[in-house]
Amino acid sequence: MPSTARALVRYALLSFLLSAFAAGQNSEQRTAHYLDSVRKQPQLLLAFLRDMPKGGDLHNHLDGAVYAEDLIDFAASGGLCVDRTSSQLLAPPCDASCENYKVKPAVECAYGNQTLYNRMIDAWSMRNWTPGEESGHDHFFAAFSKFGLASHTHVAEAIAAATNRAGMDHLQYVEYMHTADGGAAAQLAGKVTWNPDFAKMRDALLSAGIKEVATETSKRLADDDARAREIMKCGTPDAAPGCDMTVRYLYQVLRGLPQEVVFAQILLGFELASADPKFVGLNLVMPEDWYVPIHDFDQHMAMIDYLHGVYPKVHITLHAGELAMGLVPPEDLTFHIRASIERGHAERIGHGVDVMNETDPLGLLHEMAARNILVEICLTSNDLILGVSGDDHPLPIYMKYGVPVALATDDEGVSRSDLTHEYLRAVETYKLSYADLKRMARQSLEHSFLPGESLWTDTKLVFRMRPACMRDAPGAEKPSPECEQILSASERARMQWKLEAEFAKFEKKY
C-alpha cells in the first residue's frame, strides 16, 4: 500500500478512535478535554475561560473595581479639577483654561490632551508601573487617594460600571466591600469619648445615634443601587449584562483610622448586617502593614470578638496575611491569619499569602480545612503589591491541604485585570484542571454570605447534591417538587442551582 494511502488510513483510524472516545465521555469530561487541548494556546484558553461560568467574586473593593477611564468620566461630569503634577483630583474652581502651563486644569481638559489623560490613568492604576522607580505596593495604594473624590461622589455610577463588567465576565454574584455611610460613623465617633470598655462604648454610640446612621446608610445604598440599575437600563430591551447580577455588600471598616472610629465603623457594620439584607457581612480594609493596622491589630480582634458576641449571626470575612517577608518584621508574619479566625471569627480569609510564615503553619492549614474556612485568592494583586507569585504563592498548598479556595479580583480597576484573567493566570501558573476551576466557582457561592441552606450536602472532596435534587437535570428550569421546596426556601441554593444551569449550558458546547 502506498505511503500516502497508509497515512490516510491511519488518519481515518485516529479520527474514528477520537470520535469514539468523545462519544463515550459526558459533557463535563469533553469540556475538560477541550481545556487540556488549548492549555498551551493562550488566546483559545482565554476565550474558553471568558465564557466559563464563574459563580461569585467574594473579594471586590467597589472603589478599586472601577477602571480609571470610567473614573475620569465621573470626575469630568462632576466638574472636578486635577493637579497636573500628581494627578490628584481637586475640588473646583479649576484653572480657567486647558493650557499646558496650568497647574489645576479641569479634568475634562484631559479629553483633548492625551498626555494628561495617559498620566492620570497610569497614576490611578498599575498600568505602565515600572518596578524599581516605586514599589508596586506604594503605587497601588497611593492610587485610591488620587481618584477618591470621583469614586466617593459617583457611587451609583461605580456600581453600574463594576457590575456590568462582572456580568460580561460570566459572573452571577458579587459582594462589594463598600464604606457606604460616607464617613458618618467616623463623625459620630468624634462626638463620643473613647472608652476601652467596649460595652460602654457601644452604649455611647447607640445613644449618639448609630442606628440612625445605619438607617440613613441603607437608604443611601438603596438609592445608589436603583440609580445603578437605571444606568444599566435594566428592565429594557437594551439592558446591560450587569442587570442579571446579584449584588450584595460587605460594610468596609477602615482599620488605619483612630481606635474610636474603627470601633464605630465595626459597630455600624454589625448593625447594618443585622437589619439590611443588602449588607451580608463586614470586613476590615487598608494595608495590613501600615502602622495603625499592625499596632492595633490585637485591639481590632478584641473589638470584633466582643461585637460578635452581641451579634452572633453576622458574617465576618477578614483581610489577613496580605504580607510578605521584608514588608514587616518577621514576628508580624506569624499570627494574623490564625488570630483572624480564632479571635476575629472570620468565616473567610482575604489573601492569606503569608500562611507558611505563621506559627505551626501545617496545623493552621489543617484547622482551616476542618473548619471549612475559605481563602479568597487574589493572584494579580498579590503579585503587584507583594511581589508574590508562581511557586512562592500558597494557592497550591491550600489546595493540597483541603482548604477551600475561590479566585477573586480584589481591585480589578487598579490592577487592570478581571476575573477571567485571574482564572487564566491560575491555569497557566498552576496547571489547574477544569475540575479545579469548577470547584472554585462552586466554592465561591458555597461560601458566599447569601442566606439559606446550601444546595450541597458535602463539598470537601466532591460536591454532593441534596438527595431531593439529585434526580433533576442540573439547573433544570422546572425541578421536581421536592427540589423546588429546597430552592424556594434558600436564596443561596437558588444561586447555586443557577450556576449548575450555566455549567450545563456551557459544557453542552463541547
Task: Indicate the pLDDT class of residue 8, thresholds 50, 70 and 90.
Answer: low
Q: Which helix (H) or strand (E) holds 391?
A: none
Residues counted in the chain: 510
Residue 9 pLDDT more than 70?
Answer: no
Task: Indicate the pLDDT class of residue 2, thresholds 50, 70 and 90.
Answer: low
What pLDDT is stored for residue 4 in this prediction? 57
Mean pLDDT of 220-224: 98
Q: How far apart are the first and last CA of the chain?
A: 37
Task: Indicate the pLDDT class of residue 462, thresholds 50, 70 and 90.
Answer: confident
What are the backbone angles phi and psi of residue 342, rounded to the nearest 5°? -80, -35
Non-local (6+) Cβ contacts of 25 within 8 A are: 33
Q: Which position has the higher pLDDT, 176 or 15?
A: 176
Pick the CATH number of 56-62+153-447 from 3.40.50.10070, 3.30.390.30, 3.40.50.150, 3.20.20.140: 3.20.20.140
Residue keyed to cell 456590568: 164
Mean pLDDT of 465-486: 93
> Which residue type is seen at 326?
G
Helices 155-168 & 68-77, crossing angle to 10 degrees?
A: 150
Least confident of 7-11, 219-223, 231-235: 7-11
Mean pLDDT of 229-237: 98
The cell numbers describing 423, all together, are: 482564572
What pLDDT is stored for residue 235 in this prediction? 96
**Percent of the chain topping pLDDT 90:** 92
Mean pLDDT of 295-308: 98
- pLDDT tens across 424-439, in order? 999 999 999 999 999 9
- pLDDT tens across 130-143, in order? 888 789 999 999 99
**Exposure b/e, 280-304, CB count within 10 A at least 16 = b:** bbbbbbbbbbeebbbebbeebbebb
What pLDDT is stored for residue 133 in this prediction? 79
Residue 7 pLDDT more than 80?
Answer: no
Residue 487 pLDDT more than 90?
Answer: yes
Mean pLDDT of the chain: 95
Residue 20 pLDDT more than 60?
Answer: no
What pLDDT is stored for residue 14 in this prediction? 44
What pLDDT is stored for residue 444 in this prediction? 98
What pLDDT is stored for residue 5 in this prediction? 54
Mean pLDDT of 73-90: 97
Query: Distance between CA atoms of 495 and 490, rounded to whole angstroms?
Result: 9
DSSP 237-293: TT--GGGG-EEEEEEEEETTS-HHHHHHHHHHHHHHHHH-TTEEEEEEES-TTSHHH
Task: Indicate the pLDDT class of residue 474, thresholds 50, 70 and 90.
Answer: confident
Mean pLDDT of 479-483: 95
- pLDDT tens across 93-133, in order? 999 999 998 999 999 999 999 999 999 999 999 999 988 87
- pLDDT tens across 396-421, in order? 999 999 999 999 999 999 999 999 99
Bridge partner residues of 320 (DSSP): 351
What pLDDT is stored for residue 22 in this prediction? 47
Least confident of 22-26, 319-323, 364-368: 22-26
Residue 19 pLDDT more than 80?
Answer: no
- Where are the chain's structural domains? 25-37+448-510, 56-62+153-447, 63-152
**Percent of the chain topping pLDDT 70:** 95
